[in-house]
C-alpha cells in the first residue's frame, strides 16, 4: 500500500488494485500517517484570507404567508384583575377549580388560584390569558 501511495495512485486506484474498499484504504493510510495535500500552514493561511460569510437571509416569504393565515400576532395580552380570594390547597381543589399555582411549590403559603375554571380548561379566564398567549412573530418565524 505504501508503494502505491508513494507512486501517486489515488485511494480508489489503490483499493481496486488490492481488492478492498476505498474507505478501508483511507483508514489504513490515516493510521500510517500517510497524507497528501496541503500542509496545516497552507490551510490556516487560506482560512485567514477567505471572505467572511454573509449573514443568513430571513425567510421573509414564509413569515408573510404565515402572517396572512394567522393574522398579526403581536397583539398585546389583555390582563384584568384576578380575584385571589378563592385560594386553596391541593387537597381543596375541585374539578372546575383554577389550578394556577400561587407562590413557590414547597413554600408554606403555596396555594392554587381556586377560581372557577373555564369549561374543560385547567385555568380561570384571567390565568388562561396569561398561559395561552397568541402566536408571536418569533414563534411564527421558528415554525
- The tens digit of pLDDT for each residue in 41-61 reads 666 666 666 677 777 766 777
CB atoms within 10 A of CB 93: 16
Alpha-carbon distance of 127 to 98, in angstroms, equals: 8
Q: How far apart are CA 96 and CA 94, in angstroms?
A: 6
Give me the pLDDT at residue 58, please. 65
Q: What is the structure's pLDDT at 142?
A: 55
pLDDT band with cut points at 50, 70 and 90 for residue 63: confident
Question: Kind and range of the H or E element at 58?
Answer: none
Query: Which of 55-59, 72-76, 93-97 is predicted with the least confidence, judged by mean pLDDT?
Result: 72-76
**Global pTM?**
0.40
* Mean predicted confidence (pLDDT) in 103-128: 87
Rounded to an integer, the average pLDDT of 25-47 is 77
Of 18-22, 44-48, 83-87, 95-99, least confident by mean pLDDT is: 44-48
Amino acid at each position: 500500500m505504501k508503494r502505491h501511495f508513494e507512486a501517486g495512485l489515488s485511494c480508489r486506484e489503490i483499493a481496486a488494485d488490492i481488492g478492498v474498499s476505498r474507505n478501508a484504504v483511507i483508514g489504513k493510510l490515516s493510521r500510517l500517517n500517510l497524507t497528501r495535500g496541503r500542509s496545516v500552514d497552507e490551510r490556516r493561511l487560506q482560512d485567514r484570507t477567505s471572505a467572511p460569510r454573509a449573514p443568513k437571509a430571513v425567510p421573509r416569504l414564509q413569515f408573510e404567508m404565515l402572517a396572512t393565515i394567522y393574522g398579526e400576532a403581536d397583539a398585546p395580552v389583555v390582563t384584568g384583575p384576578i380575584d385571589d380570594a378563592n385560594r386553596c390547597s391541593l387537597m381543596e381543589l375541585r374539578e372546575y377549580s383554577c389550578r394556577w399555582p400561587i407562590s413557590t411549590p414547597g413554600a408554606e403559603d403555596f396555594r392554587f388560584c381556586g377560581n372557577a375554571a373555564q369549561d374543560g380548561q385547567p385555568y380561570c379566564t384571567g390565568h388562561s390569558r396569561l398561559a395561552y398567549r397568541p402566536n408571536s412573530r418569533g414563534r411564527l418565524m421558528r415554525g
